[in-house]
Amino acid sequence: MDKYEALRVYYGHDAFRPGQEALIDGLLAGRDVLGIMPTGGGKSLCYQIPAILSDRPALVVSPLISLMKDQVMALKSQGVAAAYLNSSLDLRQQDLVLERWERGAYRILYVAPERLETPGFLGTMTRRPPGLVAVDEAHCISQWGQDFRPSYLQIVDFLDRLPARPPVGAFTATATQAVREDILRILSLRDPVRVVTGFDRPNLYFDVRHPRDRKAAVLDLVKERAGRSGIVYCATRAGVEEVCEILQNHGIAATRYHAGLTDEERRENQDAFQYDRATVMVATNAFGMGIDKSNVSYVLHLNMPKSLEAYYQEAGRAGRDGAPADCILLYGPKDVRTALYFIENGEENDLLSPEDRAEVVRQDKKRLNAMVDYCKTTRCFRGQILDYFGQDHGASCGNCGNCLGDFVRTDVTIPAQMVLSCVKRVRDKLGYPVGMNLLLDVLRGGRGQRVLALKLNEVSTYGLLAREKKETVRTLMDHLVQEGYLRVDPDHGGVSLTPAASEVLFRGKSVVLALRDVPKPKSAIPRVVLPAGEAPAEGFYDGLFQRLKEVRTRLAQRAGVPAYVVFSNATLADMAVKLPTDREEFLAVNGVGEQKADRYGKEFLAAILDFLGEETI
Ligand code: ADP
Ligand code: MG
């Protein structure tokens, strides 16, 4: 068997994704590899296929019990002998796993890093060494990453203790240079094959909305996506509690997850979500790395995260199966203040020296600014994200709120001149720049304490925009920042003019503000392209898709696995388009391998034939 056959037979896919082949080839040739691919990019397969093809089994280090469980379940359902070893097993079960490993019963064993240095485990691994060691979520080894796990450092000693060092593969979705270098250095990867694939996730639709009532907006967005699996991230536990209750009160099967719950309840709720008993998970960012659920079809953010890295990681949990999915962030200016507060009062920084602390705060603010820019941009959202990760892209992606939205363009040159002039006057009067809010107050003729104390009601531009709504002026000021006419100091927030501002003030350059119209609701699943010339009756496709989902639920319940372990949404969508009527055609559906064709083929084929029969009558 070769890698192409393995891909087809065990996974049911007919082509490798970018980067996968190079990593597989590297490991098969006995080389170390470093694979950096976005979440959902398909990293697992890169060490699993070498494990399937080589004569010695693979050991996979993975940080979380839930991740291991999930992967092992998926492998078993594909017909690959796999197991895991962690604290969720009792001692007897642990012994049994080691015994079976020695007998050569597994192709792949997942193991928690804490396990590596225990005597029993080391003994077994010395007697029957792994043919390769894969380090999944390898960024956990770096102190610079947000998921540092000291136990990951044990991997190094473990490798040293093996009779011979096997090829080592490290895999992560974290893109930053510091983390990448840490992985290479700490694991001492030997001349590894490096693959860094693009970070774009074309199936994800990105949008930012600015609703007045964010909780009501969440409810609407969830209702529009009824029956689909989604995650709602909130900044605080209180937010989680409230949103979860609102959803439940509207009859939505929502559950919750945050650090304030007992371990047991967290586990139960995560399970309910995993097995689709709960369709919506409302959570803080504590609900994180352990989620490998591939059919999450939207991720909503009630609040703005603290950086684009964090946002992309959380939003990236949508659409892992490649099916269209929505990532929508609800923005409110209050989020910026909250985030600043946390940056300036972060407890974890207490141990640092004052200089280091100042540096951390400076970096955090820089990241926060990039996040805020994302929320306010009228350019392509995807482009904004890819810029941040240093990746090239086209001008418009055609699959984000800004690329698809309708903009109303207004000439705002005169109010823009008023704002710029006000910034200048205030600065001239005081001799130092002031922040957005105070300027806003001056422009709108406010009689706030600071306005009066600083006598800013005496500047000539005081109250020039008194008739405009606060939000309108705020939007205009943000626009002037984005267009590079105003600059906000990243440390103290003082606003000043840039050299470009004089173009507008004195040389008649016009300023045009493009504002998004009410966003079009956009459905995530499944926008399929039907073969040319075939136009099935309205509702045909959805009807069949629903029917296939029911079959999947039934089979999943029978097997005691989550629905997506049976087949992903993308596979069902492909099935509904290809309409297979025998085993061979069934195998041609993307995501159907031999094991699954044997196990589930009959029932899906029967459902499709039934449906076709009904439709033609
Ligand atoms: P990662 O670990 O990089 O986040 P996974 O390995 O969990 O991603 O894979 C994400 C999804 O992509 C899975 O549902 C997997 O079946 C699918 N996938 C992986 N490789 C391919 C491929 N070559 N063709 C189609 N789907 C794939
Ligand atoms: Mg993974």
Q: What's the pLDDT at 355?
A: 78
What is the three-class DSSP state of 207? strand
Q: What's the pLDDT at 577?
A: 82
Q: What's the pLDDT at 616?
A: 55
Q: What's the pLDDT at 617?
A: 47
Close Cβ partners of 152 (under 8 Å, ≥ 6 residues apart): 61, 63, 113, 135, 138, 140, 141
Q: What's the pLDDT at 532?
A: 39
Return mean pLDDT, the chain: 89
Residue 41 beta carbon below 6 angstroms from any ligand 1 atom: yes
For residue 46, give the ligand 1 atom closest to its CA: 6
For residue 590, give the ligand 1 atom closest to its CA: 25
Using CA atoms, how far apart are residues 439 and 495, in angstroms rounded to an integer? 9
Q: What's the pLDDT at 513?
A: 84
Residue 41 alpha carbon to ligand 2 centre in Å:
8
CATH number assigned to the domain covering 204-404: 3.40.50.300
| Packed helices 470-482 and 354-376: angle between N→C axes, nearest 10 degrees | 110
Close Cβ partners of 255 (under 8 Å, ≥ 6 residues apart): 244, 269, 272, 273, 278, 280, 281, 282
Ligand nearest to the CA of 19: 1
Q: 605: closest CA among 551, 539, 553? A: 551
The model's pTM: 0.72
Q: Is the separation of the CB atoms in 273 and 255 below 8 Å?
A: yes
Q: What's the pLDDT at 530?
A: 39
Residue 38 beta carbon below 6 angstroms from any ligand 1 atom: no
Close Cβ partners of 606 (under 8 Å, ≥ 6 residues apart): none
Using CA atoms, how far apart are residues 273 and 264, in angstroms rounded to an integer? 14
**How many Cα atoms occupy the beta-carbon half-sphere of 577 within 13 Å?**
15
Q: What's the pLDDT at 520?
A: 45
What is 540-616's CATH topology?
Answer: DNA polymerase; domain 1 (1.10.150)
What is 3-196's CATH topology?
Answer: Rossmann fold (3.40.50)
Q: What's the pLDDT at 518?
A: 54
Q: What's the pLDDT at 556?
A: 93
Give the type of residue at 424.
K
For residue 11, give the ligand 1 atom closest to its CA: 16
- The dihedral formed by the CA atoms of 260, 263, 264 and 269, expressed in degrees to the nearest 10: 60
Q: What's the pLDDT at 525?
A: 37
Please list the ranges in the chain whose pLDDT falls under 70: 144-146, 175, 289-290, 347-351, 517-539, 615-617
CATH number assigned to the domain covering 408-516: 1.10.10.10
Specify the domain boundaries for CATH 3.40.50.300 within the chain: 3-196, 204-404
Give the type of residue at 299.
V
Tokens 């926008």 appear where?
Answer: 527
Pocket test for ligand 1, best of 3, 10, 11, 201 (most atoms within 8 A of CB): 11
